[in-house]
Amino acid sequence: MSSVIILVDSVGGKVSKATAELATFGKRLGDVTAVICSSDGASLASQLNALAIDKTITCTGVDFEKLSTGAVASALSDVVAKEKPVAILIASHARGKEIAGRLAVRIESGLITDAIDLDADLIATQSVFGGSTTVHSTVTHGTPIITLRGNSIEAIAGTGPTAHEDFAVTYGGADRALVNSLAPAIKGGRPELTEASIIVSGGKGTDGNFAPVEALADALGGAVGASRAATDAGWYPHSFQVGQTGKTVSPQLYIAAGISGAIQHRAGMQTSKTIVAINKDPEAPIFDVADFGIVGDLFTVLPQVRDGVIAKKS
């Protein structure tokens, strides 16, 4: 049976939800080999037992933490040469896309980024131009490398890998000078924005008071997002901005409170499965993309929703 490689993704030393989603896509293509390129290799390998993965390969011999994306791309290219997979799947965040780009150059293969679906014939689906256009594409040269957006698929459970291999890799460091300068994400008690199943976002309508937005997010176990108007005003950190110049998210549930729904904001959240808009202006464009709309004051509506959620839980 053909095999597909997924790059194990982690956040703060924990295997991320994206890894389970990559494995689920991978199962459509064949046996899944999960490749670990991390200084936490042993710990990550021990966290893969409930995933739809057939085999793991832990790359050893280089300090991935120090060397960053160039070393990961180099290690992956060695694994690809050995395993000859039908495809390589990588999580579609900034780091994942950087690794994918470097890998594509190294193995001279085509690359598709930000896919939201992938079928058994290796046809990837992308949602572009703010969600207004759906593109289907396939790689025609080399071993397809595809980065997949988080929350694009319901991850299936598995019985974990039945085989494990340590694979010694080397790294010449030719592209070490290009180590990226991304700032580490600000960590809090809430899920990572791009991984969250539920996001409650606040905009200019909050007038700088994100307390009801955060309170509802916490009641739902979700993440907090913000429009650019809110981040530009300094009400919420830029790392929480959703939209064209912020994060692209695709949660199961996106609640937009006091956000007008400008095209640049919609570009980052339009592929959410269910969108709920709360806005006191019934003409706000956000209602055009919303599945459910509440015309009202967010300072009245959000606490009511939160109370309802808490009452339902108890």
Ligand X SMILES: Cc1cc2nc3c(=O)[nH]c(=O)nc-3n(C[C@H](O)[C@H](O)[C@H](O)COP(=O)(O)OP(=O)(O)OC[C@H]3O[C@@H](n4cnc5c(N)ncnc54)[C@H](O)[C@@H]3O)c2cc1C
Using CB under 6 A as the criterion, which residues of the chain lie in contact with ligand X when the complex forms?
Answer: 203-205, 227-230, 241-246, 258-260, 262, 264-265, 268, 278-281, 284, 297-299
Q: Which is nearer to ligand X, 17 or 265 (CB)?
A: 265
Q: H or E stretch including 66?
A: helix 64-83
Q: Supply the minimum distance, in Å, between the C-beta of residue 240 and ligand X.
A: 11
Q: Which is nearer to ligand X, 218 or 297 (CB)?
A: 297
What does the alpha-carbon distance between residue 293 and residue 287 come to, in Å, rounded to a whole number?
6
Widest pairwise Cα distance in the chain: 60
Q: Which is nearer to ligand X, 51 or 224 (CB)?
A: 224
Q: In the chain, how many H helices and how many E strands?
A: 9, 16
What does the alpha-carbon distance between residue 83 and residue 102 come to, in Å, rounded to a whole number?
19
User: Which two tokens mark 168?
Assistant: 């010694």
Q: Supply the minimum distance, in Å, between the C-beta of residue 247 and ligand X.
A: 8
Q: Which is nearer to ligand X, 93 or 265 (CB)?
A: 265
Q: Which residues pair with 34 in a beta bridge?
A: 6, 56
Q: Supply the minimum distance, in Å, between the C-beta of residue 72 and ligand X.
A: 28
Q: Which is nearer to ligand X, 217 or 298 (CB)?
A: 298
Spell out the alpha helix ranges (H) of 89-144: 94-107
Q: Which is nearer to ligand X, 143 or 241 (CB)?
A: 241
Using an 8 Å Cβ cutoff, are 270 and 289 in contact?
yes
Q: Supply the minimum distance, in Å, between the C-beta of residue 246 and ligand X.
A: 4
Residue indicated by tokens 């494995």: 23
Q: Supply the minimum distance, in Å, between the C-beta of residue 266 and ligand X.
A: 9
Q: Which is nearer to ligand X, 79 or 230 (CB)?
A: 230
What does the alpha-carbon distance between residue 22 and residue 120 come to, in Å, rounded to a whole number?
13
Q: Supply the minimum distance, in Å, between the C-beta of residue 4 and ligand X.
A: 33
Q: Which residue in the shown chain puts its C-beta closest to ligand X?
A: 243
Q: Supply the minimum distance, in Å, between the C-beta of residue 282 and ligand X.
A: 9
Q: Which of 134, 135, 155, 161 is nearest to 3 (CA)?
A: 161
Using an 8 Å Cβ cutoff, are 280 and 296 in contact?
yes
User: Which two tokens mark 314?
Assistant: 């108890």
